[in-house]
C-alpha cells in the first residue's frame, strides 16, 4: 500500500537561501517551468530553442551563433566544453585558485589531457603576467580557467588573456557559473572561445541547465571530431577526421546539429529546464544586464559592509572579490556549523561554509539573483547579529544593519530595489 503519510506532496519549508548557491529561484522562473510541454520538433519548441540562443547571446555579450544549453548542471556544461575540445594527450593549462580550478583539472585529466597547473593561494587570483608566462612555458592547446571561484569568492580578471591566447593559438575556456550576470562577462570583447555557466547563482533559477557559448574558432576545432550517431540517418557517414569525442552525451558537434536547423536528434531536450533557462535570461535582460550587475554590486557591498561592521574579517583579496558572495572568517569561540544550523532551522536562513582547506573556517554569504535585495540583506544581518551575540562575539549593537543602511543611503538609484 502506498504510504501517503511518508510520501506526501512536495511541500518544502520556506527558506531564504543566502549561501553561495543554489539560491531561491525567482518565482517567475518557477511559473514559467510549470507550463505544459510541447513535442521536441514542434515549431513552438524550436522557436523557444532559437529564442533561448538569442537571449543567452545577450547574457554572454556575444555574437556567437553557437550559444545554447547543455542538459545537466553547470558541471555538465564544463565537461561538454572540455571533453569536446580536448584530444587525448593535448596540453591544457589550468590556473587553480580554488576548488573549481581543481574541478577543471579533474575533468580535463579524465578527458585525457596532459594537464599543467599553476596554483595561487586560496583567497588570491593570478596577475595576467603569471598566466602569460605559464602559457609561454607550457605551450598548451587550451587554457581553462574559472572566472569566479565560489569556494574562495575570488574573481579572476580575464581582460588581458583572450588576445594573448589568440595570438599564441591557445583556446580559452572559462567557467562563469558563479559570476555570470553578477559580474561583467564580455565574451566577444575579451575574446573567450568557450564559456559555460549554470542557472543556480545570479541567474536566479534552479540547477539543471548549463548555458554555454562557443566561438567560431572553437566550433571549427571541435567539428574536426564530428561524427553522426548510427541509427538516426539512413547513410551512416562520419564527417570528422579527428579522434572521436570520449562522450556521446557531451559531444558538442552532435549537440550543435540538434540545435541547428537540421535538428538531428541527439538527447530529448529537457523542455521544462529550457523554459526555466529562457525565463532566467528574460528577467535579467528586462532589468538590463548592466542594472543587474549594479544591483549585485550594491547588495553585495551592503552585505560585506554589514558583516565587517560586526567585527567579522572578510576573507581573501578584497580588490578581487565577486560582487555576489562574500567570505568571512568564522570568529574564534564560535562553532560555525552550529550557528549555521540554528540560523537555518530557527530563522529559515541558509548561509554556506566552504570546501577543502576552508571547510569550517569561513562562512560564505551570497546576495545573488532574486535574493540580491535590500530586505534579504537586512534580515540576514539581523539574524546573524542575534546569533553572534548569543555566541559571545562582541561588536556594537546594530552595527551591521547600520553599516548596510549607510551603503543604501549613499546609493540613490537603488535605494528601493
Using CB under 8 A as the binding rule, the residues of this chain from 192 to 211 that contact a second copy are 198, 200, 206-208
Over the window 293 to 332, marking each residue x when it contacts a second copy by CB under 8 A and - when it does not, the resulting string is ----------------------------------------
Closest CA to 171 of 262, 252, 257, 254: 252
Closest CA to 367 of 14, 15, 19: 19
Smallest distance, a second copy to C-beta of residue 179, A:
15
| For a second copy, the closer CB: 207 or 376 | 207
Instruction: Provide the 3-class DSSP secondary structure of residue 2.
Output: coil
Over the window 241 to 260, marking each residue x when it contacts a second copy by CB under 8 A and - when it does not, the resulting string is ---xxxxxxx----------
Judged by CB under 8 A, the residue of 72, 148, 253, 369 near a second copy is 72
Q: Does 33 bind a second copy (CB under 8 A)?
A: yes
Q: Which residues pair with 144 in a beta bridge?
A: 173
Q: Does 90 bind a second copy (CB under 8 A)?
A: no
- Region near a second copy per CB under 8 A, out of 31-39, 373-381, 388-396, 401-409: 31-39
Residue labelled with grid coordinates 531564504: 16
Instruction: Provide the 3-class DSSP secondary structure of residue 293.
Output: helix
Closest CA to 256 of 84, 68, 83: 68
Residues 276-295 that bind a second copy (CB under 8 A): 276, 278-279, 282, 285-286, 288
Smallest distance, a second copy to C-beta of residue 101, A:
7
Segment holding 196, helix H or strand E: strand 194-196
Judged by CB under 8 A, the residue of 350, 372, 378, 403 near a second copy is 350
Q: 12-27 in b/e burial notation, b at 16+ Cβ within 10 A?
A: eeeebbbbbbbbbbbe
Judged by CB under 8 A, the residue of 57, 75, 301, 393 near a second copy is 75
Q: Does 148 bind a second copy (CB under 8 A)?
A: no
Q: Does 95 bind a second copy (CB under 8 A)?
A: no
Instruction: Provide the 3-class DSSP secondary structure of residue 66.
Output: strand
Grid cell digits, residue 54: 538569442
| For a second copy, the closer CB: 330 or 407 | 330
Smallest distance, a second copy to C-beta of residue 321, A:
20
Smallest distance, a second copy to C-beta of residue 141, A:
19
Smallest distance, a second copy to C-beta of residue 300, A:
19
Q: Which residues pair with 66 in a beta bridge?
A: 214
Q: Does 21 bind a second copy (CB under 8 A)?
A: yes
Judged by CB under 8 A, the residue of 118, 128, 344, 417 near a second copy is 344
Judged by CB under 8 A, the residue of 62, 64, 67, 73 near a second copy is 73
Helices 374-390 and 399-410 cross at an angle (nearest 10°) of 160
Closest CA to 123 of 361, 372, 406: 361
Q: What are phi and psi of 368, to 5 degrees?
A: -130, 145
Residues 212-241 that bind a second copy (CB under 8 A): 229-234
The burial class, CB within 10 Å (0-12 / 13-18 / 19+), for 223 is middle
Q: What are phi and psi of 95, to 5 degrees?
A: -80, 125
Q: Does 118 bind a second copy (CB under 8 A)?
A: no
Smallest distance, a second copy to C-beta of residue 390, A:
22
- By CB under 8 A, the count of residues binding a second copy is 101
Grid cell digits, residue 274: 529550457
Amino acid at each position: 500500500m502506498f504510504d501517503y503519510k511518508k510520501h506526501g506532496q512536495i511541500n518544502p519549508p520556506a527558506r531564504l537561501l543566502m549561501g553561495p548557491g543554489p539560491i531561491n529561484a525567482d518565482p517567475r522562473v518557477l511559473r514559467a517551468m510549470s507550463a505544459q510541454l510541447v513535442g521536441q520538433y514542434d515549431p513552438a519548441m524550436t522557436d523557444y530553442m532559437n529564442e533561448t540562443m538569442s537571449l543567452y547571446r545577450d547574457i554572454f555579450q556575444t555574437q556567437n551563433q553557437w550559444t545554447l544549453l547543455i542538459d545537466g548542471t553547470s558541471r555538465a556544461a564544463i565537461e561538454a566544453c572540455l571533453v569536446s575540445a580536448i584530444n587525448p594527450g593535448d596540453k591544457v593549462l589550468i590556473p587553480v585558485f580554488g576548488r573549481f580550478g581543481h574541478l577543471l583539472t579533474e575533468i580535463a585529466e579524465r578527458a585525457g589531457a596532459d594537464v599543467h597547473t599553476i596554483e595561487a593561494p586560496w583567497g588570491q587570483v593570478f596577475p595576467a603576467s603569471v598566466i602569460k608566462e605559464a602559457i609561454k612555458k607550457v605551450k598548451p592547446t587550451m587554457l581553462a580557467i574559472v572566472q569566479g571561484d565560489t569556494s574562495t569568492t575570488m574573481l579572476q580578471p580575464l581582460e588581458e588573456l583572450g588576445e594573448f591566447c589568440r595570438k599564441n593559438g591557445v583556446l580559452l575556456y572559462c567557467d562563469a557559473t558563479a559570476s555570470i550576470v553578477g559580474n561583467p562577462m564580455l565574451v566577444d570583447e575579451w575574446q573567450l572561445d568557450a564559456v559555460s555557466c549554470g542557472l543556480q547563482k545570479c541567474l536566479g533559477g534552479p540547477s539543471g541547465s548549463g548555458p554555454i557559448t562557443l566561438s567560431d574558432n572553437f566550433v571549427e576545432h571541435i567539428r574536426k571530431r564530428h561524427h553522426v550517431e548510427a541509427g538516426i540517418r539512413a547513410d551512416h557517414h562520419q564527417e570528422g577526421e579527428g579522434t572521436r569525442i570520449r562522450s556521446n552525451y557531451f559531444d558538442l558537434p552532435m549537440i550543435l546539429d540538434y540545435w541547428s536547423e537540421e535538428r538531428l536528434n541527439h538527447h530529448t531536450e529537457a523542455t521544462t529546464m529550457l523554459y526555466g533557462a529562457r525565463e532566467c535570461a528574460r528577467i535579467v535582460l528586462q532589468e538590463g544586464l548592466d542594472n543587474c550587475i549594479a544591483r549585485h554590486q550594491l547588495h553585495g557591498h551592503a552585505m560585506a559592509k554589514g558583516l565587517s561592521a560586526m567585527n567579522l574579517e572578510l576573507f581573501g583579496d578584497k580588490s578581487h572579490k565577486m560582487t555576489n558572495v562574500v567570505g568571512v572568517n568564522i570568529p574564534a569561540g564560535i562553532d560555525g556549523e552550529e550557528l549555521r544550523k540554528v540560523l537555518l532551522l530557527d530563522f529559515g536562513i541558509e548561509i554556506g561554509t566552504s570546501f577543502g582547506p576552508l571547510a569550517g573556517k569561513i562562512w560564505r554569504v551570497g546576495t545573488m539573483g532574486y535574493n540580491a535585495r535590500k530586505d534579504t540583506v537586512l534580515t540576514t544581518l539581523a539574524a546573524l547579529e542575534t546569533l553572534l551575540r548569543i555566541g559571545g562575539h562582541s561588536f556594537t549593537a546594530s552595527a551591521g544593519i547600520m553599516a548596510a543602511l549607510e551603503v543604501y543611503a549613499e546609493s540613490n538609484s537603488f535605494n528601493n530595489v
